[in-house]
Structure 1
């Protein structure tokens, strides 16, 4: 029999009470860990069973007993090992309890804005200190054309609690449309108070966002409230998003008026609506066609997302129809290119990184006209894209190995 001082049980009960842990769960974990340590001490292979062995812990005195077939079978010097194992198990359970408490706390904060500080980079992901705990911003949740540095403070949107190979993880985002909504709620008192409502948001993170707003109280200008005096409120949001352009339009229950607002800055067009097919057909004066579609089709895409309708845009005399559903996304958006280069590439029907890589040399003159530095930066962006893809593949393989190991342990 190995005696562990009763002070151990007092300390265990105190720690468990402070951390909200069931002492019996800790004691069961100690028993399991001691059996594993005993198996190693006896030189048994991992798959061999400890037939007839049993560990008991006296909950009053803390005495740990190892028996085999009902007889004392504690190896010589096993007391030190038992004490060490007990200490490790308690520390592990405390850490798990603290993490569970943090996860529970942030589960209630899903859908809210928080400001954190970048701690480190985990492959293509960014690990952020958000106060009580740490959160992960996966590559897909980052703004494509943003670069992050250690100790940088960033505003992020708490998106979800996700099961990863590291356990439950707080996932945050800077590319989510909801981030823009929460930033306006912070910067615009009327939005925070509910007297101005953000009805819809369409976003291409890092490039442009359109939001539709309406007033819930008489006498309040929803667009003016969001813009602020001399644009100070919307500029605060733009600054937080590192220069992302933001269009604010007034929502209308009159769908024709709403379509016209959503397609601004184009004007003077006719609108036909088929609500059963959720389709809008817009006939635009020829001199307004490029404005309605936007560079690379961006204005039309954002309008379609804002409306939740398919949008067909055609000129008065031109026969071609530009059709968007609001669901279009392009691989080159993940490169973080400047808007001018990105939109030029989309105009040239280049939407994938592979296409761009293949045609890059032939596009040098075109890109140089937009920005003399852009050609080199585009090449670097392509290299980063492939490097991140390789790192993401490694992370996925690591997660698969971890899951397989956990499954093998539980067999």
Structure 2
């Protein structure tokens, strides 16, 4: 249909999560990596606080700690000092220098400085990636995608734009979108592996933010894809991108190394799982493993059991662009009427969609969703869902008041069944609460 803007002069209860935070999230999926926010200390503290509350784990973030006089006279000096300290003290394998609104508004050309810094020091065994992510444009999804693209560009440039050896027939690149949890990424890796492929995932949050117990403390990310694996991406047979926002990264690999790619814009529900497994079957020439045939049967049975409770239900969804459309498609499979779709920013995927999507805030979702049965969104919309009278399903980022949200699985047949049952149970509880006052009480 169309992308619509509310035209309000201010944002009420914002849905937008800053792109710099999305960039920090992407770095967590690279082993021994660290994000260096080139800006004030508050920018780094805000990102670190939200990520720590969501994942309930320590998050590696550094900052150049700019103040007013630094920006006026020489912001590069702070950045140089920060880089020197981080490299000398921690010896990271990857540093993403993420610009903030402070440096971008001031016109500081830190990208050129970072390139000069790398050239003068001839850094080896270190990937240094500058990315401009001011908070006045885009959202978490955009920042995450930009950093992933920057990492891939850095790998390509480091290898001179050439593949390091012959292509590996059984190797697949997986580029998961920002809306996928570590649990989702692990599920996708297992599905692809079951067709006989070796999977290189970037960023790989499933081994860094999955809640594993490790002794001691490290200022660097303690899981994710190591640098040597990132370099091996250039030898893969195929690239699978989960989410339209990751297409640019997949295209970079195709342009540099001739690796074909497939983008899955739908990630949730029966149709999306069918599309993924059919593609893997055709690519590998291997029949779909029996476990997934059983999982599909389980999903169909769950959909049949739940359809009485979904009948006549309506929903409002407030999530990042890739996520909002994918969830809307899944609810469409269950016959749910969509009362409103709200995203924090406009993207090519939204412009090409047949659905009407509003670019706005949680206040807009509350207006669109009055009387809706289901509200799907991040933790900031929980109270709005209650005011709208809708059953609330936490999704996206951040979700800080529920345990295990970062390990939920919503992709594949197993994930789709979890979604069907979760929302179905919410609808049952909502219906019970609605009729509770009608029962005679002694």
TM-score, length-scaled by structure 1:
0.23
**Structure 1 or 2: more strand by fraction:** 1
Larger Rg over CA atoms = 1
